[in-house]
Amino acid sequence: GAVVSQHPSWVICKSGTSVKIECRSLDFQATTMFWYRQFPKQSLMLMATSNEGSKATYEQGVEKDKFLINHASLTLSTLTVTSAHPEDSSFYICSAAVNEKLFFGSGTQLSVL
Amino acid sequence: EDKVVQSPLSLVVHEGDTVTLNCSYEVTNFRSLLWYKQEKKAPTFLFMLTSSGIEKKSGRLSSILDKKELFSILNITATQTGDSAIYLCAVESNTGNQFYFGTGTSLTVIP
């Protein structure tokens, strides 16, 4: 199956700082990647759809200025949480679709102090 | 509005029990329904269903889709503690490469 690599696996940061999360497709090209947020014991909440070479499509209620998405190449999408606050603490996970199946990165646990 | 609903939200069973997880959907331009298992980090793919009435089977897990009644079930027989996880149902739409996730079912199997 396709491999999606996500980095870092976990990060702790101070309130007010920005954090960048990377999502790479290792053995395929991904024109579209998806970013999700997940709270403990809950399902995935789609935040945005990242499109290579164009602007991301954000879901309703997701602040585009706070969660900056860049998809500059066919193998890399990044999510930057700007001016992070404790309420942004969560598990963030990316995915890409290959042959109609979604393959996921290993996720990033963000803790904002 | 497109939506996917899973039930139950959580379930606790004893080892050896059989469980049935449900996924119902209302999605425009249905393409496929996928089941995933999520233990700690990345969800892992279980099944993809596109046609009604054809059971997909993998070991103790099986799944079937009913496109008329708009639902799917995931069965796990002879459950083991290693089956404890969140099970996610997702429906892919032909419209704009969209995947809609259900609420998830948290399964706990106790010895």
Q: For residue B79, what are its two tokens? A: 């459950």
Per-residue model confidence (pLDDT) at position B51: 93
Structure tokens belonging to residue A21: 């999360």
What is the per-residue pLDDT across A62-90, written as a single tens digit (0 to 9) for each?
Answer: 999 999 999 989 999 999 999 999 999 99
Q: How far apart are CA A43 and CA A20, in angstroms?
A: 23
**Beta partners for B79?**
none
Tell me if A100 and B42 make a contact (CB, 8 A cut-off): no
pLDDT of residue B102: 93
Residue from B101, B105, B106, B107 whose CB has the most chain A CBs within 10 Å, to mutate: B101
With a cut of 90, say whether residue A113 has pLDDT above it. Answer: yes
Task: Decide: B32 and A102 in contact? Cβ < 8 Å.
Answer: no
Is there a contact between B44 and B110 (Cβ–Cβ < 8 Å)? no
Could you read off the pLDDT of B68-87 as tens digits, one per residue? 999 999 999 999 999 999 99
pLDDT at A99 (0 to 100): 81
Specify the pLDDT at position B76: 98
Strands (DSSP E) contained in B15-79 are 19-26, 30-38, 44-49, 56-58, 61-66, 71-76
The answer to whether A92 and A107 are in contact (CB under 8 A) is yes
Alpha-carbon distance B57 to A66, whole Å? Answer: 43
Confidence of residue B96 (pLDDT cuts 50, 70, 90): low
Q: Among candidates B62, B35, B59, which has minimal Cα distance to B47?
A: B35
How close does chain A come to B43, measured CA to CA in Å?
Answer: 6
Q: Tell me: the pLDDT tens digits for B24-48?
A: 999 989 999 999 999 988 899 999 9
First to last CA, chain B: 41
Q: Across chain A, which distance is largest between two alpha carbons, in Å? A: 40
Predicted pLDDT at B61? 98
Read off the DSSP letter of residue A8. Answer: -
Closest CA to B90 of A45, A53, A66, A107: A45
Query: Touching check for B11 and chain A: CB below 8 Å?
Result: no
Nearest Cβ partner for B48 among A45, A49, A100:
A100
CA distances from B91 to A12, A113, B16, B26, B71 (A): 34, 36, 30, 9, 10
Mean pLDDT in chain A?
Answer: 92
pLDDT attached to residue A80 = 97
User: Which tokens sit at A104?
Assistant: 């996921």
User: How far off is chain B from A67, nearest CA to CA, in Å?
Assistant: 20
Give the pLDDT of residue B82.
96
Asked whether the beta carbons of A38 and A104 are under 8 A apart, the reply is no
As a whole number of Å, the end-to-end CA separation of chain A is 37
Looking at the DSSP bridge assignments, the partners of residue A13 are: A112
pLDDT, tens only, A13-45? 999 999 999 999 999 998 899 999 998 878 899
